Structure 1
């Protein structure tokens, strides 16, 4: 469902310059963190695996690393439009991966990275986890096996035996476990892309992204990217997402209600396991910790 379009967003030269400054500041903050000796990621994804995660669009001098639950459906749709495809019967992600694979030659990949806009869309890590829970755990779909594992393997005193789906508390306990395994194995323990850390998926300490959009300012950020990349008449500025299967229409109220049922200690533990995503992209868990229970 599209939550809005950029048709009414007017970008003057001054606004474009201001947005360019915002992107430059985000890039500089990311670079500064990556250069730190103590806090930067202690292990990194194989660069070939990062390249495999990227969608390469040489015709439009664009490279984009999809982050699931951060406007990925919107840009998968845009990349189909760039290929002249208005709809697809196959998996959206599989179709786009097939259309925009990494060049086989490593030097050609580096040349494209050097000459293209390198786009990344990020989201508050805890908000992204809540979105993943609402979209993937509250329905009968390909995540049914994981959903059942979470429901039966993790406790929640408020959960009922006949509940069809796991609670958010059970889901965060599961996330804590799999992320601990991820850290202990230095990335060898697999994490589903919908809750895999951005720093691992997209390698922002390995690839210099120059267009870092935030979900919290998505429409304005996307408008700049679309115009700067020369895609004004080819791509749409929209936020397309799957419907969430609960009673909330707005994100803010859902966030407050869901996190108010989670112990502060668990929110802190989960946040620590995603600490690089917080640090790299200028987010803080403090507001969410305050929502939690003592």
Structure 2
């Protein structure tokens, strides 16, 4: 079962699963989930989680086939391989999707790999994105890449495309990060302002006009469509997590891969004094756009909406789920 664009509400299983998160119900700790996957006997909440996983994967498979996104090729695209991080001790591959908890996942992978008895909060944001200690799949020969993809637990996380877009704008264009707040911002100003010397911050409307004017494959990683980053139609991810259920999904991932019990997924934020981008904030920004801009960003992220079961009826979605 899957939702076509415009369907206003998540399916019953997703609604039930979100309720567990909203009510802060903790998952059952009844042993490694990997054994449940094999044996087919589950505690109730694990059964719910596995049912959600099956639903997400069947939705994805159906839509990949329907939209002719399956490819026949002998080796993995190098761009996609550069998005995949490999942690060998727990046979774990994680696809990086910016603005979907990727900094915290990199911290987690670093701790898993180094086997450090340390806290994620001790690892600085900039360090975790620059370290060479976390290996990417692209550094291995094609035959080894294939071996890892066939034998490791592969994980991808997604987020509502429009909330991710707003989060990227707030994070990259409203802060003093030289490449984005200067280089990218100046490119946007040059495209849309008569006064080329204007130093006023780039507006969300200008940002959206800028990205929809470019080919999707050329977009920056922070706002490129998620399906282009991780190629989920051709890499068969074992676990499809969502930002909307990030903590619960992440704890299940850690259990599946056999992570140490002491290790929990962190909840760290780069700009800690600011409120996270949520439904209310997303709606506030989307309401600044005209109808033509809304239609263009829906078209840009159409496959993300379809493949990952997000509704385009964002007013109802964010009002319901925030």
TM-score, length basis structure 2: 0.74
Does the alignment pair 1:151 with 2:189? yes
How far 1:255 sits from its partner (Å)?
Answer: 1.6
1:79-158 aligned within 5 A: 79-82=109-112, 83-84=114-115, 86=118, 87=122, 91-95=127-131, 98-102=133-137, 104-141=140-177, 142-143=179-180, 144-154=182-192
1:143-195 per-residue CA deviation (whole Å, 9 max, x = no partner) reads: 12112222342269xxxx976311111111111112xx23xxxx3xx221101
Partners of 1:241 and 1:110 lie apart in 2 by 34
Match of 1:194? 222
Pair 1:276 & 2:303 matched: yes
- Give 1:283 deviation, angstroms: 0.8
- Secondary structure in 2 aligned to 1:91? helix
Q: Following TM superposition, by how much is the alpha carbon of 1:126 offset from its aligned partner in structure 2, in angstroms?
A: 0.8
CA distance in 2, matches of 1:173, 1:288: 21
Q: Which residue of 1 aligns with 2:267?
A: 239
The correspondence of residues 1-294 of structure 1 with structure 2, limited to 5 A, is 9-11=26-28, 13-36=43-66, 38=67, 40=69, 47-82=77-112, 83-84=114-115, 86=118, 87=122, 91-95=127-131, 98-102=133-137, 104-141=140-177, 142-143=179-180, 144-154=182-192, 164-178=200-214, 181-182=215-216, 187=217, 190-233=218-261, 235-243=263-271, 251-288=278-315
The structural deviation recorded for 1:129 is 0.6
Give the Å deviation of 1:242.
2.5
- 1:139·1:245 contact (CA, 8 Å) conserved in 2? no
Deviates more, 1:140-149 or 1:227-236: 227-236
Distance 1:244-1:165 versus aligned 2 partners, 3 A rule = farther
Once residues 217 and 62 of structure 1 are traced to their aligned partners in structure 2, the CA distance between those partners, rounded to angstroms, is 20
Task: Give the TM-score normalised by the residue count of structure 1.
Answer: 0.81
Question: Equivalents in 2 of 1:234, 1:62: separation in Å?
Answer: 18
Q: CA offsets, 1:245-265, max 9 Å, x none?
A: 87x566232122111111122
In the TM superposition, what whole-angstrom CA distance separates every residue of 1:197-250 from its partner, at most 9, and x where no partner exists?
11111111110012111111111111211112111425322333322887x566
Distance in 2 separating the partners of 1:155 and 1:263: 18
CA separation of 1:199 and 1:145: change in aligned 2, threshold 3 A: same
Tell me the CA shift for residue 104 of structure 1.
Answer: 2.1
- Hey, what's the Cα distance between the residues in 2 that align with 1:252 and 1:155? 30
* Change in CA separation of 1:165 and 1:41 when aligned onto 2, cut-off 3 Å: farther
Secondary structure in 2 aligned to 1:240? coil
RMSD of the alignment, in Å?
Answer: 3.2
